[in-house]
Amino acid sequence: MASILNVDQINNAAGTSGIALDASTGKASFPNSVTIPNGATMPAGSVVQVQRVQDAGISIAVSTDAWTTFFTLNLTATAGNIVYVSSVVPVRGSGTSGYSLSLMRILAGGTNVWGSGFAGDNNYSTINEPLTHMPISASWVWTGSGSNTQTISVQGSTYNSVQKFFGTNNQATYTTTPTFTFMEIAQ
């Protein structure tokens, strides 16, 4: 026979920091923060973790089609979950005439997981390209098995070997700082 337990709050052993239950919706509210034990399964679509990199040290001039690494970080996620990246990076051209593109890519464990972001100009003049803020967003399924750590690399390049400035290099004083947000989403 099934039993029902009706409560509106659950307290710890000291009688404080209780979990409050809304009587009308049944939703729980937790005090301060919640620690989820290892091995717990999050519902699909839940954000498992967030790492944010805001790096004013990204100040790079690139003038070849070779990839230049802006920064790396180690990220631990669970195989099968999705990793979503959102960012914005200030980019500016050198004013060299001709068509050119600023390119960026993201590697996870040495594998290119996203590489189609670009900002470009086609002004065929020697006037500096206006400042743009290149948005980057990408997602991929984390590989490997279980919970594992991979090195994430963010890289930039230029098409046609025309000099491009990434980050704070050759930018105005009001330039935004390059910011990257990495989110692991449970599947």
For residue 79 the two structure tokens come to 């195989």
Spatial contact of 49 and 183, defined as CB atoms under 8 Å apart: yes
Angle CA 37–42–45, to nearest 5 = 150
Condensed to tens digits (0 to 9), the pLDDT of residues 86-141 reads 887 877 776 665 566 777 888 888 888 875 555 554 444 455 555 566 666 777 88
Condensed to tens digits (0 to 9), the pLDDT of residues 150-159 reads 998 888 888 7
Burial of 3 (0-12, 13-18, 19+ CB in 10 A): exposed
Spatial contact of 112 and 120, defined as CB atoms under 8 Å apart: no
> What residues form DSSP beta bridges with 87?
136, 180
Q: Give the Cα separation of 138 and 84 in Å (integer).
A: 6
Q: Give the residue range(s) of CATH 2.60.120.1340 domains in the chain.
A: 44-185
CATH number of this structure's domain 44-185, picked from the four choices 3.30.450.20, 3.40.50.300, 3.40.47.40, 2.60.120.1340: 2.60.120.1340
Q: Give the Cα separation of 165 and 169 in Å (integer).
A: 6
